[in-house]
């Protein structure tokens, strides 16, 4: 009986040693996993911030350009009369958009979304604070809407035909220098706000 008790105690001690070893292994693995996720999260946020800084720079350039075109188009508008505005655009002598001082196309800022998409695909985004996820998702949706608006302005300007009037082209440029410009300014402010968060 004593022998069985000793053997039982021996097995119990061995079992406890093995169980403790397994527990330590799982615990160490869990700590390592959390550390890896924390590093991935920090890297991901860092990449998103770099991407937003790049987008911010592009938006600033686009805003500067659109403001300069706005100044030019406002001064040109003062020189045109009603007859000029309603004349056919193709072949007219009073207004040519490519003769606007500083004209270099519509120039919609090409905003990156790669870092944010990578965070979503990798699943690391689920580790972010919920409020941050909401704000960053809203910002990237805002960027997408801006790009779509820019494409609409560009499409409107490209769709010239023989019935296009000077006022049609003029209104396209004004859309670029008002609505698109205002959207760029609000988007720039949203990027700055997210960066501070």
Label residue 91 by pLDDT band (50, 70, 90): confident
Nearest one of 53, 56, 65, 58 to 181, comparing CA atoms: 65
Residue 73, domain extent: 41-196
According to the model, what pLDDT value does residue 1 have? 59
Determine, yes or no, domain membership for 6.
Answer: no
Residues 43-90 pLDDT 10s:
998 999 999 999 999 999 999 999 999 999 999 888 888 888 888 888
Number of domains making up the chain: 1
Quick one: tokens of 10? 């021996």
Give dist(CA 94, CA 76) in Å, integer: 10
Determine, yes or no, domain membership for 26.
Answer: no
User: Which residue in this structure is represented by tokens 């003769």?
Assistant: 99
Q: What are the phi and psi torsion angles at 95 (to 5°)?
A: -150, 125
Look at residue 88 and give its three-state secondary structure.
strand
Give dist(CA 182, CA 104) in Å, integer: 19
Choice between 188 and 23, residue whose per-residue pLDDT is larger: 188
Cα 84 to Cα 66, 77, 88, 124, 169: the distances in Å are 24, 10, 9, 58, 12
Determine, yes or no, domain membership for 118.
Answer: yes
Determine, yes or no, domain membership for 1.
Answer: no
Determine, yes or no, domain membership for 144.
Answer: yes
Label residue 111 by pLDDT band (50, 70, 90): very high
Determine, yes or no, domain membership for 47.
Answer: yes
Cα 171 to Cα 20, 108, 129, 178: the distances in Å are 76, 17, 43, 10
Q: What is the pLDDT averaged over residues 150-173? A: 87
CA 100 to chain centre: 30
Determine, yes or no, domain membership for 138.
Answer: yes
User: Which residue in this structure is represented by tokens 């079992």?
Assistant: 15
Give dist(CA 118, CA 45) in Å, integer: 11
Give dist(CA 180, CA 173) in Å, integer: 10
Determine, yes or no, domain membership for 34.
Answer: no
- Residue 48: how many CB atoms within 10 A of its CB? 25
Question: Helix axis angle, 166-175 relative to 130-158, nearest 10°?
Answer: 160
């Amino acid at each position: 009986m004593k022998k069985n008790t000793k053997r039982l105690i021996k097995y119990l001690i061995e079992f406890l040693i093995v169980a403790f070893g397994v527990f330590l292994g799982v615990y160490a693995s869990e700590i390592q996993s959390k550390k890896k996720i924390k590093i991935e999260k920090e890297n991901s946020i860092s990449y998103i911030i770099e991407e937003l800084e790049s987008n911010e720079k592009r938006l600033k350039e686009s805003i500067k350009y659109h403001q300069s075109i706005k100044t030019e188009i406002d001064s040109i508008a003062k020189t045109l009369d009603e007859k000029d505005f309603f004349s056919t655009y193709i072949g007219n002598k009073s207004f040519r958009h490519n003769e606007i001082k500083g004209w270099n196309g519509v120039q919609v800022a090409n905003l990156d979304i790669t870092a944010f998409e990578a965070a979503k695909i990798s699943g690391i985004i689920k580790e972010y604070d919920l409020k941050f996820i909401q704000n960053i998702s809203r910002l990237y949706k805002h960027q997408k809407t801006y790009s779509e608006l820019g494409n609409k302005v560009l499409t409107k300007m490209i769709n010239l035909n023989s019935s296009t009037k000077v006022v049609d082209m003029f209104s396209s440029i004004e859309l670029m220098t008002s609505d698109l410009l205002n959207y760029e300014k609000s988007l720039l402010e949203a990027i700055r706000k997210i960066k501070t968060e």
